[in-house]
Amino acid sequence: MKNGKNKKTTAGFSLLELLIAMTIMLLILGMVATLFSKSLGTRQRESSKTDALTAAQAALNVISREISNAGYGLTDNGIVYTDSTVQKFHFLANTTNNNNILTDAGEDVTYFFDSSTSSILRYDANGNGPGSPQTSIVINRISNVNFLYFDYTGSNSAPTLSFTPSFKTGRVRVTITVNLENVQGQTPNQSVVLVSDVTLRNSDYMLQNY
Protein backbone atom coordinates (compact mmCIF):
# COMPACT_ATOMS: atom_id res chain seq x y z
CA MET A 1 0.00 0.00 0.00
CA LYS A 2 1.02 3.48 -0.65
CA ASN A 3 0.91 5.78 2.27
CA GLY A 4 -0.34 9.18 1.26
CA LYS A 5 -0.88 12.35 3.21
CA ASN A 6 -4.18 14.25 3.08
CA LYS A 7 -3.46 17.80 2.21
CA LYS A 8 -5.84 20.49 3.45
CA THR A 9 -5.78 23.81 1.76
CA THR A 10 -7.32 26.86 3.40
CA ALA A 11 -8.58 29.23 0.75
CA GLY A 12 -8.77 32.98 1.63
CA PHE A 13 -11.07 35.65 0.27
CA SER A 14 -10.65 36.42 -3.33
CA LEU A 15 -10.03 39.98 -4.49
CA LEU A 16 -13.57 40.18 -5.88
CA GLU A 17 -15.07 39.08 -2.56
CA LEU A 18 -13.02 41.70 -0.71
CA LEU A 19 -14.17 44.41 -3.08
CA ILE A 20 -17.81 43.41 -2.64
CA ALA A 21 -17.47 43.35 1.17
CA MET A 22 -15.79 46.77 1.19
CA THR A 23 -18.49 48.20 -1.07
CA ILE A 24 -21.24 46.91 1.21
CA MET A 25 -19.44 48.27 4.27
CA LEU A 26 -19.03 51.68 2.66
CA LEU A 27 -22.72 51.77 1.75
CA ILE A 28 -23.69 50.93 5.32
CA LEU A 29 -21.34 53.58 6.72
CA GLY A 30 -22.76 56.11 4.27
CA MET A 31 -26.34 55.36 5.37
CA VAL A 32 -25.36 55.66 9.03
CA ALA A 33 -23.60 58.98 8.39
CA THR A 34 -26.64 60.32 6.50
CA LEU A 35 -29.02 59.33 9.31
CA PHE A 36 -26.69 60.84 11.90
CA SER A 37 -26.42 64.09 9.92
CA LYS A 38 -30.21 64.32 9.60
CA SER A 39 -30.58 63.68 13.32
CA LEU A 40 -28.16 66.50 14.15
CA GLY A 41 -29.90 68.81 11.67
CA THR A 42 -33.31 68.08 13.21
CA ARG A 43 -31.95 68.68 16.70
CA GLN A 44 -30.38 71.99 15.64
CA ARG A 45 -33.57 73.06 13.88
CA GLU A 46 -35.74 72.26 16.89
CA SER A 47 -33.32 74.03 19.23
CA SER A 48 -33.32 77.11 16.99
CA LYS A 49 -37.11 77.00 16.75
CA THR A 50 -37.49 76.73 20.52
CA ASP A 51 -35.15 79.67 21.14
CA ALA A 52 -36.94 81.80 18.55
CA LEU A 53 -40.38 80.93 19.93
CA THR A 54 -39.34 81.66 23.50
CA ALA A 55 -37.90 85.09 22.63
CA ALA A 56 -40.80 86.01 20.35
CA GLN A 57 -43.44 84.95 22.87
CA ALA A 58 -41.76 86.97 25.62
CA ALA A 59 -41.62 90.03 23.36
CA LEU A 60 -45.24 89.56 22.30
CA ASN A 61 -46.35 89.36 25.94
CA VAL A 62 -44.57 92.63 26.76
CA ILE A 63 -46.02 94.42 23.73
CA SER A 64 -49.54 93.09 24.36
CA ARG A 65 -49.51 94.04 28.03
CA GLU A 66 -48.46 97.62 27.29
CA ILE A 67 -50.80 98.07 24.32
CA SER A 68 -53.75 96.95 26.46
CA ASN A 69 -53.20 100.09 28.57
CA ALA A 70 -53.77 102.37 25.56
CA GLY A 71 -56.25 105.05 26.54
CA TYR A 72 -56.03 104.34 30.25
CA GLY A 73 -57.11 107.44 32.17
CA LEU A 74 -58.21 109.16 28.94
CA THR A 75 -61.56 109.72 27.27
CA ASP A 76 -60.77 107.65 24.18
CA ASN A 77 -58.84 104.52 23.17
CA GLY A 78 -55.54 106.41 23.23
CA ILE A 79 -54.50 105.54 19.67
CA VAL A 80 -52.71 108.25 17.71
CA TYR A 81 -54.57 107.56 14.45
CA THR A 82 -52.42 109.73 12.20
CA ASP A 83 -49.24 107.94 13.26
CA SER A 84 -50.40 104.31 13.39
CA THR A 85 -50.19 101.91 10.46
CA VAL A 86 -49.88 98.21 9.71
CA GLN A 87 -46.26 98.23 10.88
CA LYS A 88 -46.41 100.95 13.52
CA PHE A 89 -48.61 101.49 16.58
CA HIS A 90 -48.54 104.80 18.45
CA PHE A 91 -50.64 105.20 21.59
CA LEU A 92 -51.08 107.34 24.71
CA ALA A 93 -52.00 106.36 28.27
CA ASN A 94 -52.24 108.18 31.57
CA THR A 95 -50.88 105.30 33.63
CA THR A 96 -49.43 107.48 36.41
CA ASN A 97 -52.76 109.31 36.65
CA ASN A 98 -51.24 112.80 36.88
CA ASN A 99 -52.26 114.04 33.40
CA ASN A 100 -48.66 114.61 32.28
CA ILE A 101 -48.85 112.39 29.21
CA LEU A 102 -46.51 114.58 27.21
CA THR A 103 -43.76 114.44 29.85
CA ASP A 104 -44.06 111.10 31.70
CA ALA A 105 -42.16 108.01 30.59
CA GLY A 106 -44.21 105.09 29.31
CA GLU A 107 -47.22 107.19 28.37
CA ASP A 108 -46.37 108.20 24.80
CA VAL A 109 -45.11 105.00 23.18
CA THR A 110 -44.65 103.74 19.63
CA TYR A 111 -43.90 100.19 18.55
CA PHE A 112 -42.62 99.74 15.01
CA PHE A 113 -40.68 97.41 12.74
CA ASP A 114 -37.19 98.42 11.64
CA SER A 115 -36.32 96.53 8.45
CA SER A 116 -32.66 97.63 8.52
CA THR A 117 -32.03 95.68 11.76
CA SER A 118 -34.89 93.14 11.46
CA SER A 119 -36.10 94.28 14.88
CA ILE A 120 -39.16 95.54 16.69
CA LEU A 121 -38.31 98.84 18.33
CA ARG A 122 -40.02 100.65 21.20
CA TYR A 123 -39.90 104.43 21.04
CA ASP A 124 -40.74 106.24 24.28
CA ALA A 125 -41.07 109.98 23.71
CA ASN A 126 -40.08 110.68 27.33
CA GLY A 127 -38.12 107.56 28.24
CA ASN A 128 -35.07 109.53 29.34
CA GLY A 129 -37.04 112.36 30.89
CA PRO A 130 -39.40 115.05 29.55
CA GLY A 131 -38.58 115.77 25.94
CA SER A 132 -35.81 113.14 25.91
CA PRO A 133 -36.87 110.14 23.83
CA GLN A 134 -35.56 106.62 24.25
CA THR A 135 -35.48 103.92 21.60
CA SER A 136 -34.92 100.30 22.61
CA ILE A 137 -34.94 96.94 20.82
CA VAL A 138 -37.74 94.63 21.92
CA ILE A 139 -36.65 91.67 19.79
CA ASN A 140 -34.37 91.17 16.80
CA ARG A 141 -33.97 88.52 14.09
CA ILE A 142 -37.59 88.80 12.96
CA SER A 143 -38.97 89.33 9.48
CA ASN A 144 -42.06 91.38 10.21
CA VAL A 145 -44.61 92.71 12.67
CA ASN A 146 -48.17 93.66 11.75
CA PHE A 147 -50.85 95.59 13.59
CA LEU A 148 -54.45 95.05 12.47
CA TYR A 149 -57.37 96.95 13.97
CA PHE A 150 -60.86 95.79 14.88
CA ASP A 151 -63.49 98.54 14.88
CA TYR A 152 -66.75 98.22 16.84
CA THR A 153 -69.84 100.37 16.40
CA GLY A 154 -71.70 99.04 19.43
CA SER A 155 -71.37 96.70 22.37
CA ASN A 156 -72.85 93.74 20.50
CA SER A 157 -71.74 94.48 16.96
CA ALA A 158 -69.45 92.31 14.88
CA PRO A 159 -66.05 93.96 14.44
CA THR A 160 -64.73 95.30 11.16
CA LEU A 161 -61.11 94.52 10.36
CA SER A 162 -59.06 97.50 9.20
CA PHE A 163 -55.45 98.32 8.32
CA THR A 164 -55.75 101.73 9.95
CA PRO A 165 -57.14 102.56 13.42
CA SER A 166 -59.97 104.93 14.33
CA PHE A 167 -61.86 106.09 17.40
CA LYS A 168 -63.96 102.92 17.00
CA THR A 169 -60.99 100.58 17.37
CA GLY A 170 -61.48 98.31 20.35
CA ARG A 171 -59.02 95.52 19.67
CA VAL A 172 -55.59 95.25 18.07
CA ARG A 173 -54.13 92.10 16.54
CA VAL A 174 -50.35 91.91 16.84
CA THR A 175 -48.63 89.41 14.52
CA ILE A 176 -44.91 88.66 14.77
CA THR A 177 -43.16 86.60 12.09
CA VAL A 178 -39.84 85.09 13.13
CA ASN A 179 -37.28 83.80 10.64
CA LEU A 180 -35.59 80.59 11.74
CA GLU A 181 -31.89 80.06 11.10
CA ASN A 182 -31.16 77.84 8.12
CA VAL A 183 -29.96 74.37 9.10
CA GLN A 184 -27.94 72.17 6.76
CA GLY A 185 -30.06 69.32 5.47
CA GLN A 186 -33.33 71.03 6.40
CA THR A 187 -35.77 73.10 4.37
CA PRO A 188 -34.38 76.68 4.23
CA ASN A 189 -36.17 79.94 5.01
CA GLN A 190 -38.58 78.53 7.60
CA SER A 191 -40.52 80.91 9.83
CA VAL A 192 -42.83 80.93 12.84
CA VAL A 193 -45.86 83.20 13.24
CA LEU A 194 -47.18 84.31 16.65
CA VAL A 195 -50.46 86.21 17.06
CA SER A 196 -51.97 88.10 19.98
CA ASP A 197 -55.37 89.82 20.06
CA VAL A 198 -55.24 92.72 22.50
CA THR A 199 -58.41 94.36 23.78
CA LEU A 200 -58.00 98.05 24.58
CA ARG A 201 -59.28 98.57 28.11
CA ASN A 202 -60.54 102.13 27.55
CA SER A 203 -62.16 101.68 24.14
CA ASP A 204 -65.89 102.36 23.73
CA TYR A 205 -66.37 98.70 22.98
CA MET A 206 -64.95 97.65 26.35
CA LEU A 207 -66.64 100.40 28.36
CA GLN A 208 -70.04 99.43 26.93
CA ASN A 209 -69.59 95.89 28.17
CA TYR A 210 -69.36 96.94 31.83
R_g over Cα of the chain: 32
Specify burial of residue 91 (Cβ count, 10 A radius: 0-12, 13-18, 19+).
Answer: buried
207, amino acid identity: L
Q: Do the domain assignments include residue 121? A: yes
| Residue 1 pLDDT greater than 80, yes or no | no
Q: Do the domain assignments include residue 34? A: no
Instruction: Report the number of distinct structural domains present in the chain.
Output: 1
Instruction: Kindly state the percentage of the chain with pLDDT values over 70.
Output: 79
Beta carbons within 8 Å of 89's beta carbon, 6+ residues apart: 67, 79, 110, 111, 112, 147, 172, 174
Q: In terms of pLDDT, which residue wins out, 184 or 89?
A: 89
Q: Do the domain assignments include residue 54? A: yes
Q: Do the domain assignments include residue 15? A: no
| Residue 82 pLDDT greater than 90, yes or no | yes
| Residue 105 pLDDT greater than 80, yes or no | yes
Tell me the backbone φ, ψ of residue 61, rounded to 5 degrees: -65, -40
44, amino acid identity: Q
The pLDDT of residue 172 is: 95
Q: Which of 31-35, 40-44, 205-209 has the highest mean pLDDT?
A: 31-35
Angle (nearest 5°) at CA 34 between 31 and 37: 150
Q: Do the domain assignments include residue 198? A: yes
| Residue 7 pLDDT greater than 70, yes or no | no
Q: Do the domain assignments include residue 1? A: no
The pLDDT of residue 11 is: 60
The pLDDT of residue 22 is: 83
Q: Do the domain assignments include residue 161? A: yes
Look at residues 59, 105, 85 and name the one whose alpha carbon lies nearest to residue 172: 85
Q: Enumerate the β-bridge partners of residue 149.
A: 162, 172
Q: How far is CA 5 from CA 1, 8, 51, in A?
A: 13, 10, 78
Q: Which domain holds residue 175?
A: 41-207
The band of 141, judged by pLDDT with boundaries at 50, 70 and 90, is confident
The band of 30, judged by pLDDT with boundaries at 50, 70 and 90, is confident
Q: Do the domain assignments include residue 32? A: no
Q: Which contiguous run of DSSP H or E holds residue 67?
A: helix 15-67
Q: Which contiguous run of DSSP H or E holds residue 4?
A: none
Q: Please count the residues of the chain.
A: 210
pLDDT digits (tens, 9 = 90+) for 167-205: 999 999 999 998 777 766 667 777 888 999 999 877 776
Specify burial of residue 171 (Cβ count, 10 A radius: 0-12, 13-18, 19+).
Answer: buried
* Least confident segment among 19-23, 80-84, 182-186: 182-186
Is 0.95 surpassed by the pTM of this model? no
Q: Say if CB 151 and CB 129 are below 8 A apart.
A: no
